[in-house]
Structure 1
């Protein structure tokens, strides 16, 4: 590869000796009658706190998982793309690379659900539009993923990111981490969802043993030390939801945009101002989060706003509203919940700041003492239950807000939360919602009992699974590193 590798470049390392790599390598040879040129690995993520606020411009606090998307790739001299999955239930896909490939339309199936390979094409399309090359190398991809699909653990974003990274590397590019994270966030929107960039940012900027406080414009990731006497447990609700298959996700995005526009206009900001997000309104008005919460209650008092209501406030017609603010799959909507969505966003943004501050205030000082976020001082962190409780209360409040204000929870998620409360363990849905997983902050000495209880009360009693199968849906996790490139 040409060029110098900076500390901000995606790391390149020797291919690890593992059973998974060996299995993928053997299958690659069966499918393509040759060996891979290189491998790319991109992790999934669990968002600890800060849900549905990245696309509003607010910081989030995720960490990378051990589960990942792994691509075995070979560079071809001919302009063709071959996409296969090691799981045979996912069909193969081949196509030529033409001069107008950047104009490729990525279409869903007849039910509006994306084909699995559409996420791969999103990454490739983004890469092709990023660089201007006369000659493009073709690729063969064999993909292996162990992130549960539709789980809220960012399997789709990891697939987009892995495909983009692998395709760029096949063109002799050494990507910059922040640059490719932003590129992949944009690329995934080709599949139809208006995400904010958290998933792609943590995929590339994650570091082992540390969660990340991620800010946007400019993209940056700062390490957050998590409590050493607690673990995070991830449990699947067994309810799956593909956010690109419905308009539920995009509906929340545009409701936040409309709320931002109305608050801005009613506070004297010109309608012509290019403000799009709730964070941009706050910055423009120079208000605190607490003050923005009061403005939401002042300017958005109604439980429901019709399309006509919004047009009247903004002094536009319905066609202008469709063209300026709505996405193709939300133009048929006639009613919007603006107050509820904006309240969640501003209150959740405040919870992220409080969570980060609580973590930073629970660091050992030079005398071997720990200052907890409520001012208590304990020796060597042995009595940090109060800090864990503060963090846990923030996570529980986040779930309640997602359930009642954002309306993106699910009965199965709520049941896990209720069972957790019985054990005095705090948890919340993680990811887009409507199914997927919860993430729980659990003291280490409670983790085994907590997992056993969830298996018995949720998976066995409620979902009617046997214990051995139930164990695959719940795991303890610690922060993992971000994307990697492996070469021989």
Structure 2
């Protein structure tokens, strides 16, 4: 399966550098089964690494200080000197890598040159965290090649900080954590407050996870996201003024929330109500998955979509259409918008032998209604970042 990604990456490496790479690494994207917008509110999330990857072909060059990185899919390259101070550049993809390197550029870490080619099967801009796979994949490579003794948790945090400092995106830790800590057929229940986590078996019992890409990304994603954060912060402030002894946001009850509804205002109330319910849904979903109660997982996904659409208000016409029409199809247990909102993908839990029919029906309806050809990604839950040995290479 991996050869379709590895072999073209290898061929590009050989063509550009006239040598064989010494290492092959695969860094996965991720899905989030449930738990949207709770990673900055002391919540739990339930992500998993998936079988869509960035493949890195790598060779060390001890005789030089230059690191040359080729982004095969973009037909671009970037070279930097490992001994000079690293600053952000115009090429955004390079910033994810440079942001990682800048954090590790310390006197105790001795680097030298490298040649790297990378290519990806993670769809860009679809909410599957290609940026986290790029950041954490590069941090993992540096850790392995230069024996930096970084823990998995440190690699995830370095990836997140790269996004904050060099890409200007104030993301939570979930994407990076899933890419690093993923395990095949396991979902991760992550406490975004402490970074404590546990794994749950993900036997979907004849059901598939399918992503329907709306192929739209509305321009108010960033402004809408920032507005939601302000709404939530206002709600938290009101809650803590009334209940100062509550330690974490997730410990507030809906009874407490209802008691300050008037003071808080309807908008912040709706945002906080969604978050408190969503945090509980994550815990229930983890339990349901571990017990093999896939029907209930589907119910929870659908409840999350309703909350994201009407309470948190981050959906859009296209995603509401996809979800509502998918839920009417035979063999569908649940569906919801996935990611930050205002476009991107829906995640759908669909009976394996009904999937083809559902895809055909929804694709037709979506094309007729919006004149957009939706994309479909079937994903399987996979391992986190790892090195692949020569036995995989043709």
Q: Per the shorter chain, which TM-score range? A: 0.7 to 0.9
Residue 441 of structure 1 pairs with residue 349 of structure 2: yes
The CA distance in 1 between the partners of 2:173 and 2:109, in whole Å, is: 30
Mark the CA change 1:45 to 1:133 in structure 2 (over 3 Å): closer, same or farther: same
Out of 270, 275, 280, the residue aligned to residue 350 of structure 1 is 280
Mark the CA change 1:125 to 1:343 in structure 2 (over 3 Å): closer, same or farther: farther
The CA distance in 1 between the partners of 2:198 and 2:225, in whole Å, is: 25
Aligned residues of 2:239 and 2:257 also touching (Cα < 8 A): no
Q: CA deviation at 1:296?
A: 5.7
Aligned residues of 2:337 and 2:346 also touching (Cα < 8 A): yes
Out of 129, 139, 156, the residue aligned to residue 154 of structure 1 is 129
Q: CA deviation at 1:256?
A: 3.0
Larger of the two Rg values belongs to structure: 1
Match of 1:261 in 2: 237
Q: 1:482 aligns to what SS in structure 2?
A: coil
Match of 2:208 in 1: 231
Aligned runs of 1:404-483 on 2, under 5 Å?
404-423=310-329, 425=332, 426-459=334-367, 462-463=370-371, 465=373, 473-483=375-385
| Unmatched tracts of structure 1, length 5 or more | 1-15, 270-278, 304-337, 363-386
The CA distance in 2 between the partners of 1:242 and 1:166, in whole Å, is: 34
Q: CA deviation at 1:94?
A: 1.8
CA offsets 1:162-199 (integer angstroms, 9 cap, x no match) = 12222332322354222322332232212122221111
Out of 246, 250, 265, the residue aligned to residue 301 of structure 1 is 265
TM-score by length of 2: 0.87
Match of 2:69 in 1: 83
Mark the CA change 1:247 to 1:457 in structure 2 (over 3 Å): closer, same or farther: same
Between Structure 1 and Structure 2, how many residues are aligned? Answer: 385
| Unmatched tracts of structure 2, length 5 or more | none
Match of 2:153 in 1: 178
TM-score by length of 1: 0.72
Match of 2:217 in 1: 240
Aligned residues of 1:266 and 1:299 also touching (Cα < 8 A): no
The CA distance in 2 between the partners of 1:296 and 1:125, in whole Å, is: 45
Q: CA deviation at 1:63?
A: 1.8
Match of 1:312 in 2: none
The CA distance in 2 between the partners of 1:116 and 1:266, in whole Å, is: 45
The CA distance in 2 between the partners of 1:226 and 1:288, in whole Å, is: 32
**Higher mean displacement: 67-76 or 169-178:** 169-178
Aligned residues of 1:193 and 1:250 also touching (Cα < 8 A): no
**Higher mean displacement: 165-174 or 70-79:** 165-174
The CA distance in 2 between the partners of 1:242 and 1:91, in whole Å, is: 26
Q: CA deviation at 1:86?
A: 0.9
CA offsets 1:22-62 (integer angstroms, 9 cap, x no match) = 22112112222322221221111111110111122211112
Match of 2:301 in 1: 395
The root-mean-square deviation of aligned C-alpha atoms, in Å, is 2.7
Q: CA deviation at 1:17?
A: 7.9
